Structure 1
Amino acid sequence: MLLNTKFLRPTSDPRAVSRERLSSLLAPRNPKRLNLVIAPAGFGKTTLVAQWCSRTSSPAAWLSLDEHDDEPRRFWQYLIGAFEHAGLAGLAECRKQLTQNAGEAVTAAITTLVNVLAADGSPWNLVLDDFHFIRGHEIQRQFSYFIDYLPPGITVTLASRTEPPLPLARWRVRCWVQDIHPGLLAFSEDECRRFFHETMGLNIPEDEVRAICSRTEGWVAAMQLSALSGGGQATATPGTPATNLKSVNLDVDERQISDYVLAEVLDQQPEELARFLLDTACCPRLCASLCNTIRGAQDSQQKLEQLLTQNLFLIPLDTQNQWFRYHDLFRDALLQRIELKDPERAFQLRKKTVEWLLDHGHVQEGITQIAHQRDWPWLARVLAEHGNNLIHGGYHLPVLDWIRSLPDELVKDSPQLQMLRVWGLFFANRVDMLEPLLLSLEDVLDRRVADSHPDAEGALGLQSEISLIHSYLARTRSDDKSASDLTKQVLKDIDHTQIPLKSVTYYGLGLDYYGKGDLADAEEALQSAVRYGQVERKPSTVLSSGGLLAWIQYNRGDIDLALDTCTEVRRWVDQHYADPSQPRLISCWQNSSLTEIYRERNEPQVAATHLAPLLEHVKGGTEPGQHVIIQYVRGHLAFSEGRFQEAIEVLEDAADVGRRRRDHIVFEPPASSALLARCFLAIGQPEQARACLGPPDDDKFTNPLNREQNLISIARVMVSLGQPENAQEILEKLIPDAERHSHNRHLVEILLVYGEALDCQGRREEALEMLDRAVKKAANAGFMRLFAEESPRLRALLLNLPALNAPGTWNATLVSMLRQQEGSSAPAPEASTPVPVISANAGASPLQEPLSQREMQVLALINEGHANKEIAAKMEVAPATVKAHIRNLYGKLGVGRRTEALARARNLGFLES
C-alpha cells in the first residue's frame, strides 16, 4: 500500500517571497524535458516549485521522496502512483508489471508508462522533491531511460540538495534541461527586502537591506553569513518585528562573492577551523579519510559536519555526510590565500591529496590533478603504472589525451607509455595507425635487450602485448592462421610476465574459434576471458567477452543461458565499475545479443531498449565492425516488425560498410546480405533478393555461421522462384554440419525451408515430418519469432501441424503469434526517413554500374540542398557512411563535385529538371 500523503503538494506559505522570474523558467517549453533545481538545504527549492505548481493550469503529479524510496520497484511504484493520484488513467498494466519477478519487469513498466503518457497527450508536469535521497545506480539508469523516451509536452522537475548522477551533459547539449542553481535562486533586491520584512518578520532598515543584498549578490546562504560575520543575530521569529539585528560592515566594493566570503568569513573563523579550510582547499572533493591524511589529524569528520552546520559554502555530494566539495569560488579564494602565505605547504598538500586519490582507487581524478599541475615526470610515472587498467576500464580516450600532453622525450624514452598509446588507439578503433608505432616500439625494445638495459626484463614482457596486438591486426587482414599462432604463443609466454593479459588473449582466441564456427571451443575461450577479466579488473573485456559468449549461446539455441550470461556480466560490471556520473560502459556484442534475444522472444519493445544506446554510436561514428553489427540487429528488428523499407536501408548500409572496411574489422561480421535478401522476398522482389546473395559456391564467407546463413537465404529465394529441388539440394548438405557444430538456430531454419521445399514438390507428408523436427528443436531452444518471419505458405503449413496443436505454453504462444501474423491486413507502418522521389526514368540507366537505392536517396537529398551532416541525420547513418555513398556516386557518374553530379543526373533522367 502506498502512502498517499507523499503525493500531496505542500501548501504555499502566503508569506513566502513570490519568485515570478524563476517560475517562468520552470514553465514547459519545447524541447525541454527536465527542470533541475539544485541547492543546499534552505535555498527555497520546495517553496519555489510548489508555488509554480499551484499556478500552472497543466495537470501536475507530485512525489515527496525519502530515504526509503531508494529501491527500484518502490521508487517506480510511487512515481506511477503519483501520476494515478493526479488523475492519469490506464496505469493498471504498469502496476501489474512491477509485481513480476522478471529481471526486465521494471523496464517494461517504465516503457508502458511512457506509452500511456504518449497516448494521453496531456502536457503533464511531474515533480520529484528531495531527489537526493535516490542514490541507487539502477534507479539512476532507469530514470535516465525514462527521460530519454518521454513524449513531447511532458516536463519533469527535480528538487535536490545534490546534482543527480544522470547524463546531464548529453541532455544539456540537446537543450532538454533548465538548470536553476543557487546563482539563479539568488534574491533580487526587492526579493531580499520582502524576505526580511515579510517572510522572516525582521525589521531591517532599508539601507541595510540594500547593503546585504549587494554584498551577497542575493545569495541566501551568503546573506546569513553576512549577519554572522557582522556579529549580529536576529532574535525574532517569522512574522514578528525585530530590531536587534546588528548592522553589518557596509564598506562594499566590487569584489566577487568569493573575495567577500574570504574576507568576511575565513578571517572571522576560529584559527583551527580557518586552518582546516586552507589545508583542505587543494582537495577537489573532501571526505574525512582524505582530510585526515593530508592534515595528519583524526578530527576531519567533525570539522566537515561543523562547516555543514554553519553553511560555510560546503556542498554535500551524498546524503550520508561522507563526501563534500567547496563552492568553486570559495575554494579558489582559499587556494589563492594558502599559495600566497605558504607556497611550500600548498605544494605538499597537493602532493598528499593526489597520493591519497591514487592509493584509494580514484585514479582518474588523481591523474587529472597531476595534469592540471603540469608535473610531467610524475604524470608519466603514474600513467605507466595505472594506464593499462584505465584503458581496459573504458578510459582509453583520456589516457590518449594525457599521453599527448606529455613532452615527446618522455614518451620516446618509455616503452610502457608507447605501449599504452598503442592500446589506447586500438580501443579507439584507430587500427590503421598501429603498424608504424609497433615497429618503432619493437626497435626500442630490441635495443634495450641488446644493451642489457635495467628494464630489459620488462621489455621482454611487453613483447607479449605487441604479439597480442599483431594477432588482432592479422584478423583484420583475414590472416586467421597468423592470428591464431600469435594468440597461442602469447598464452604460452604470458605466465612469465607481470602484465595481466589473459582476458584479452582469451577474447582473441574466442574470436578465432568463432570465426571458424567452432562454437564449443569459442564458448570455452570466452568463459576464460570473462573469468580472467574479472580477476584482472578489465570491465570492457568482460563485457565484450560476455557479449560474444551470449551471441554464440543464442545462435547455438541456449537463449535462457545467453540471457543469464548477459545478466551476470552486467551485474559484475555495475557492481565494480558503476559511476552514474559517467556514460554507462556498454558493449556492442552484449547489447546486440540482448536485442536479438528479446526480438526472438517476441518482446520487441524490450529489444528496442537495448538497441537504443547502440544507435547513438552509429550516429556519432563508430568502429566499422561494430557499425555492421548494430545495423544488422537494427535491420533484423525492423524486419521482424514488418518495417521492411527501414530494414532494407540499414542492411544495405551494413553490407556496404562491411565490404568497404573489411581491412579494419577484426572479425567477420554477420551476413547482412542474407537478411537483406529476406527483406526483398518479403516485399515480393525475389530477383532483387537473388542479386544480393551471389552464387551458392561463393567463398566470400570464412565464418561457417555466415556461410550457412547465406545459403539458407539462397534456398529461400530458390523456393520463391519455383526451384524447390535446387533449394533441397543446398539444404541437404547443410544439415550434417549444423547438427555437428550445434548451430541450432540455423538448423531450425534449414528444416523449415526444407519442409517448404518438399511441400512445393507435392511431398506434403515428408514436409510435415521435416516441420515437426523443426518445431521440436525450436521448442527445446525457446525460439519463437523466427517462425513468424517465414513465408506465408510456410506459416500456413505450421498452423495445421499436429505437433503445434498439442497442449503447452510454448505451442499456444507460437500458434497465437502465427494467427496474429496471418490476420495482419498490412505491414506495420514505416518508421524510417521517407525516401525522396526519384524520376521513373532512372530505371533505364546507361551507366556501366547502376546506382544503388541508398545512392539514389543521397542524390535526391543533395538535390534538395542538404549538407552531409543533414543527409546523415535524415538517413540515420554515420556521416562517414554518407561520404562513402557520395564517393561511390561520383565514381559511377564520372564527376568530381556536387554541381556536376546533379547536372549529370538530370541528363540521365535520374532527377526531374
Structure 2
Amino acid sequence: MGDSVVRGRAVPALGARPSGPRLPSTLLWRGRLAERLDQGVRQPVTLICAGPGWGKTALAGSWAAARAASGPIAWLSCEPRHNHPYALWSDLVLALRTSGAVPPGHTLPETGPLPSEDEAEYAGRVAAAVATLPTPVVLVLDDLHQVTDERTLTGLAALVARPGHRLRFVLITRSEPGLPLHRERAAGELTEIRSADLAFRAAETAELSAQFGRRLPADRLAELLRRTEGWPAGLRLAMEAPDGVSPAAAAEDYLLREVLAALPAHRQLFLLRTSVSDRICAGLADALTGQQHSQQVLEELAAANLFVERIGSGRWFRYHPLFRAALRHRVTVSKPGEVPRLHLLAAQWHNGQGDGLTALRHASAAGDWGLVGRLVVDHGLTLVASADHAELFEVLRRIPPGRLADSPELLLCSALLRYAHGDLAAIPEQLARARSLLQTYAPGYRGRVELAVAVLESGTVTRRRGDMPGVIESTTALLAELTRLDAEHVPSLLPYRAMVLNNKGSALFWTGRLDHADRYLWAAASAARVTGTPLVEINALSHLALLVHRQGSPAEAAGHAVSAIDAARRIDALSHPAVAPAHLAQAFIELDRGADTDAEATLRQVLRSLGEHPETVMAGLAAVLRARLLIDRGEPTAARAVLAKASAEAGPGQRAPLLDRSFDLAAAEIDLALGEPAAVVKRYAAGPLAPAEQVCLARGHLALGDFHAAEQLLALAREGSDRVSVVAAWVLTALAADAHSRSGRAADALGHALAAAEADRIRRPFRRLDPERVLVLAGRQQWLNEPRGPVGDGVLAEITGEIPVLSGLPTADPLSEREVDVLQYLPTVLTAGEIAESLGISVNTVKAHMRSIYRKLGAGRRREAVVQARQAGLL
C-alpha cells in the first residue's frame, strides 16, 4: 500500500489510477525533489526506494498532480494479487489506457497475456504498441515491493529494458525491486531517490511545523530533526503529538505496527534482542541472539529498508534511532529480565574485541558493578588518556556510591572519579585501601590490579604533588616490570608504557635532565600515537615545547606547542590539563617576543586548562610567568608577592629542581628591578649556571661595576645554544662597550644581537635591558650602516616603532676545509670524541670546529646546524 501518512493512518492504494493517489490536505510541496523527478522522467527509469513513512507515494503523487497538464501519467498501485502475470498486465495496460495517452482503436492490448502466451513476448507487444503512441507517457508503479513472483518480474523486466522513447517508468518501492536495473545504472539512465534524499531538511521541517500551527524555535526544530533524522512520518507524528510527548513515543506505535509486526516472528526476535546495542555487526548479533548467519539477516533487513542501514562500507549496521527506541521499549516492557542479560552478553563480546568503553557502557546498563570494576582494571587508564575520557567518567558516575568500596577494582573506579573531580588528596587513601583488599586475590590477577594502581599512583599522586625524583623512581621500576609482561595478560600493556614513558620524561624535565627527558618524551609521543592515547601524546609534546624553550629555541618550541594544541583541538581538549604545558610554553614564547598582551591572554588559557586543582609544578611555572609579566610591567614588588604565594602553596612534597631554578631566576630579575644587584651575586655565588643565569649574574656584576666578571659570564652566554640568552648577552655586551666609549665594539655587538634575534623573533632583551640606551645605540648605528629596508622594518622597528631596520652582520665566513670535514659527521649519532677519533684530531679541536660551524651557520645546536647546512647545499 502507499505510504503517505495522514493523522497516523496509511492511505490505501486503489489500483490503476489516471493521475495518482489521493493526497493528504496537509501535504508539503517538496520542490527540490519534484525537480529531481522532472529530471528523472527525461530518462528511462526513476527509482524511489525507501522504507515505510519516507513519503515516497506522497512525493510522486504530488508531483504527478502538479505535472498532469504537462503530459499523461499512468498510475498503478501494486498489490499482492499482482504477483499473477495476468492481473499485473491487465491493470498495467488499463492504467495506460485511462491515462489519456492511448487513442481509440490503438494496438495496445486491452488485457493481460493469455495462459499460453509467453510474458516476454507479451511485454514485447506492449512495448511495440507503446512506441506508436502519439505522446510520451509516464508509468508510475507504486508499492512495487508487493510483486515478488519471479515469472511476473521477468515479464515486467522485459518491458523496462525496452521502453523506447514513449514510455518512462517511476518505480516506487520499499525495498530493492526484483528488476535488473544495473544496465540503466551503468549507462546513467537511472535516477535514484532514496531515504537520504527524502529526509527533511531544516527549512522543510520549519515549514512543516508552521503548517501544523506549531512554530517551534530553531533549537527545538534542530533537536527534532536530529532525533528523527528527517524521517517524514516521524516528523508528522511528532507534530501531531501532544506537548511533552517525545518523538520516539509518538512514532513507536507506527513503527511497531508498520515495520515490526509485518515481519516473521524470528526476525522480530532478532531485532528486539539486538536493539540493546547502538550499532550491530554479525558477530555481536550472533552473541545476542544465539544464532548464526546474522550477517545475512542484517544485509536482508538493510536491503529491505526496514530502518536498518550499513555504516559506511564496513561490517557495522545501525538502526534508525526512533526504531531502536521502539524496539528497546518493547523488549523492556515485554521481557524486563531479558535486558540485563543482553547487556552482559554485549559487554562480554565487546571486551573480547578490545572495545573497553562500549563494554563498560553495557556492563553499567546491566547493573553489574563487579564487571564494571574488572573492565576498568583492563581499560580504565587507557580510556582516561583517550579522546573518550569524558564518556568513561560518565559511566563511572553511574556506580552507586555505596558500592565504590566493595572491591579493589571499584576502589580504583573511586580513585578515577576523585581524579575527574580534582579531589587529588583523596586518591592515596582509595589506592591504599585497594592494595589492602588485594591481599586475598590470586597472584596472577592481583598483579594486573596492582599494576593499574601503580600506574595511576605514579601519574597522579606522585607527579601531581611535584615529587619528581619519586616519579623517576616509580616509573623506572614500572618500565622494568612492563618489559616482563605481555599484552595477552595485561590488555593495556602498551598504553601503560606510553603513560609511564611520558611521566618519566616529564619528571626528568622537572629535575633538569633535559637530554634524557627529550628522549623519553619523544618515545612517549610516538607510543601514544600508536596506542590511541592522544592525551598522553599531547602532554608529551607539550612538555617538549617547554623543554625546547628552556634550551633557548623559541621557534622550535612554538612548533611543538602548536602540534600539541592542534592535537588537543582535534579531540576537543583545548582546556584539558594535558595541554596546559603547551599553552604555558606558548605564553613564554610570546613574552620572549615582546607580545606581553598575548602572553597574558595565553596565561588565562593556561589557568583554565589547569583547573581548580592544578599539578603543583605547573601552577608554580605559571606563577613564574605571571611574575615575569609583572616585572616587564614595572611592578617588581607585586611579582615578588606572586612568587612568595606560589612557594607557600607548593607544599612540602614538591621536589622539582628545574622549577626551583625558574623561581630563583625570576627572583633575581626582581632583585635587579628593585636595585638589589648584590642579592643576585650572592644568589649565584656557587654552582654551575645555565645561560639565562649567567646573563642575570652578569647584569648584577655590571650594576656593581665589575665589568671584567660580567664579560667573562657574557662570553660564555654568547657561545651557548640558548638563543634568548645569546641575544641578551650581546645586548649587554653592546651596552657595556658603550659605557666604556668603545663605539665600534658596541655597534658590532648590537649587530650580533639583531642577527641572533631575527630567526626566533626575540624582542624582550631589547625592551628590558636599558631600552633607552639601546635606542641611542641603534640611532648611532643608523649613520654607520645602510638600512636594510624602509623605516618600520626589522627587529628594532618592531620593538620600538621608531628605529629603522639596521643592516645585519656581513655574510658569514665560508667554512674552512677542516670544518667541512667535521660538518659531514654532524648528521650522524657519533659523539665529538668519536668524530675526533675518526678524523685523527683532538676532541677539543672538534668542539672548536663545531662552535665555529654553529656560528657561521647561525645555528644554536647540532640539529639546527644540520638543517641549515642542508638548506645551504653543504650536505
TM-score class, shorter: 0.5 to 0.7
Gaps of 5+ in 1: 1-14, 18-39, 43-159, 165-178, 193-215, 228-249, 681-685, 824-913
SS at match of 2:801: helix
User: Quick one: which amino acid aligns to residue 221 of structure 1?
Assistant: A
Aligned residues of 2:757 and 2:763 also touching (Cα < 8 A): yes
CA distances 1:12-46 after superposition (whole Å, capped 9, x unpaired): xxx989xxxxxxxxxxxxxxxxxxxxxx999xxxx
**Distance of aligned partners of 1:305 and 1:598 in 2 relative to their CA distance in 1, 3 Å threshold:** farther
| Residue 697 of structure 1, aligned match among 676, 682, 698 | 682
Name the structure 2 match of 1:374: 367
Contact 2:466 2:654 in 1 (8 A): yes
Matches of 1:546 and 1:540, distance apart in 2? 10
Matches within 5 A, 1:631-780: 644=633, 653=642, 656-663=645-652, 667=656, 669=659, 671=662, 689-690=674-675, 695-698=680-683, 709=692, 712=695, 723=703, 725-726=705-706, 729=709, 732-733=712-713, 736=716, 742-779=721-758
Q: Distance in 1 between matches of 2:280 and 2:688?
A: 54
Tell me by how many angstroms 1:385 deviates. Answer: 1.2
8 Å Cα contact 1:727-1:754 kept in structure 2:
no
Question: Any idea what the Cα deviations from partners look like across 1:79-107, whole Å, max 9, x if unmatched?
Answer: xxxxxxxxxxxxxxxxxxxxxxxxxxxxx
- Secondary structure of the residue that 1:433 maps to in structure 2? helix
How far apart are 1:628 and its partner, in Å?
A: 4.3
Aligned to 1:261: 251
CA contact (8 A) 1:282 1:335 kept: yes
- For the pair 1:614 / 2:609, whether they are aligned, the reply is no
Residue from 753, 777, 787 that aligns with 1:797: 777
Cα contact 1:503–1:532 (8 A) shared by 2: yes
Residue type of the alignment partner of 1:379: V
Q: Distance in 2 between matches of 1:700 and 1:287?
A: 71
Match of 2:115 in 1: none
Structure 2: which amino acid aligns with 1:760? A
Deviation at residue 423 of structure 1 after TM alignment:
6.5
Indicate whether 1:519 and 2:519 are aligned. Answer: no
- Note the 1:49-128 alignment, pairs <5 A: none
Superposed CA RMSD: 5.9
Q: CA deviation at 1:306?
A: 6.8
Paired amino acid for 1:592: L
1:813 matched to 2:794: yes
Indicate the residue corresponding to 1:589 in structure 2: 581
Deviation at 1:671, TM superposition (A): 3.8
Q: Kindly state the Cα deviation for residue 587 of structure 1 after the two structures are TM-superposed.
A: 0.8
The superposition leaves residues 648-700 of structure 1 with CA deviations (integer Å, 9 ceiling, x where unpaired) of: 9799656633542344767454846866987x8xxxxx986457996443489
Say which of 520, 524, 531 aligns to 2:526: 531
Counterpart contact for 1:588–1:630, Cα < 8 Å:
no
Q: 1:339 Cα shift?
A: 2.4
Name the stretch that deviates more: 644-653 or 543-552.
644-653
- Paired AA for residue 255 in structure 2: V
> How far apart in 2 are the matches of 1:540 and 1:700?
41
Deviations 1:512-571 (A, max 9, x none): 443444432332232233233334443222211221112222332444443444455567
- Are 2:214 and 1:221 aligned? no
Supply the AA of the counterpart residue of 1:283: S
The 3 A distance-change label for structure 1 pair 760 and 289 is farther
Tell me which residue corresponds to 1:351: 344
Structure 1 residues 274, 520: closer, same or farther in 2, change over 3 A?
same
Equivalences for residues 298-337 of structure 1 within 5 A? 298=295, 326-327=320-321, 331-337=324-330
Identity %: 15
Could you tell me which amino acid in structure 1 is paired with residue 798 of structure 2?
M
Q: Output the amino acid matched with 1:817.
A: E
Counterpart in the other structure of 1:384? 377
| AA matched with 1:375 | D
Residues 1:382 and 1:461: Cα distance change in structure 2 (over 3 Å): closer
Separation in structure 1 between the aligned mates of residue 442 and residue 344 of structure 2, nearest angstrom: 34
In structure 2, relative to structure 1, the CA distance for the partners of 1:696 and 1:474 (3 Å cut) is farther
State the distance in 1 between where 2:421 and 2:685 align: 28
Aligned partners of 1:484, 1:587: CA distance in 2, in Å? 21
TM-score norm. by structure 1 comes to 0.50
CA contact (8 A) 2:341 2:366 kept: no
* CA displacement 1:784-842 (0-9 Å, x = unmatched): 55534542322442565589968699x9632431451669xxxxxxxxxxxxxxxxxxx
Contact conserved, 2:681 with 2:700, CA < 8 A, in 1?
no
CA distance in 1: counterparts of 2:480 and 2:435, whole angstroms: 20
Contact 1:557 1:783 survives alignment (8 Å): no
CA-CA distance at 1:186 after TM superposition: 3.7
Paired letter, 1:351: L
Please tell me whether the aligned partners of residues 387 and 399 of structure 1 are also in contact (alpha carbons under 8 angstroms): yes
8 A contact 1:431–1:473 mirrored in 2: no
**Does the CA contact (< 8 Å) of 2:576 and 2:610 recur in 1?**
no
Question: Does 2:609 correspond to 1:626?
Answer: no
* Alpha-carbon distance in structure 1 between the residues aligned to 2:539 and 2:573: 22
Give secondary structure in 1 for the equivalent of 2:682.
Answer: coil
SS at match of 2:276: coil
1:540 partner SS: helix
- Greater relative contact order structure (CA < 8 Å, 6+ sep): 1
Tell me how far apart the structure 1 counterparts of residues 373 and 587 of structure 2 sit (CA, whole Å): 42
Distance 1:528 1:590, change over 3 A: same
Relative distance call for 1:257 and 1:511 in structure 2 (3 A) is closer
How far apart, in 1, do the equivalents of 2:479 and 2:603 lie?
A: 35
State the partner residue of 2:535: 540
Query: Aligned partners of 2:234, 2:419: CA distance in 1, in Å?
Result: 50
Partners of 2:413 and 2:298 lie apart in 1 by: 39
CA contact (8 A) 2:249 2:326 kept: yes
After superposition, the Cα gap between the structure-2 partners of 1:191 and 1:342, relative to the gap in structure 1 and judged at 3 Å, is closer
Amino acid at match of 1:548: H
Q: Which residue identity lines up with residue 731 of structure 2 in the other structure?
A: L
1:278 aligns with 2:272: yes
Equivalenced residue count is 585
2:295 counterpart SS class? coil
Structure 2 SS opposite 1:271: coil
Q: 1:727 to 1:513 in 2, by over 3 A?
A: farther
Contact 1:367 1:379 in 2 (8 A): yes
**Given that residues 689 and 717 in structure 1 are in contact (C-alpha distance below 8 angstroms), is that contact kept between their aligned partners in structure 2?**
no
Write the letter of the residue equivalent to 1:752: V
Provide TM-score, normalisation by structure 2. Answer: 0.52
- Output the CA distance in 1 between the equivalents of 2:507 and 2:244: 68
> How far, CA to CA, are the matches of 2:635 and 2:208 in structure 1?
48
Return the offset for 1:769.
Answer: 4.7
Distance in structure 2 (CA, Å) of the matches to 1:588 and 1:373: 37
**Distance 1:586-1:187 versus aligned 2 partners, 3 A rule:** farther
**Separation in 2 of the partners of 1:347 and 1:624?**
44
Matched residue of 2:705: which SS?
A: helix
Match of 1:553 in 2: 548
Q: Is the 8 A contact 1:318 1:324 kept in 2?
A: no
Unpaired segments ≥5 residues, structure 2: 1-26, 30-52, 56-196, 216-227, 805-875
Shift of 1:381: 1.8
Query: How many Å apart are 1:337 and its aligned residue?
Result: 1.5
Q: Tell me which amino acid in the other structure corresponds to 1:267.
A: R
Counterparts of 1:687 and 1:626 in 2: how far apart (Å)? Answer: 25
Larger Rg: 2
Query: Are the counterparts in 1 of residues 502 and 540 from structure 2 also a CA contact under 8 Å?
Result: yes
Tell me, yes or no, if the aligned pair for 1:635 and 1:650 is still in contact at 8 Å: yes
Q: Secondary structure at the match of 1:587?
A: helix
Equivalent residue of 2:586, what SS?
helix
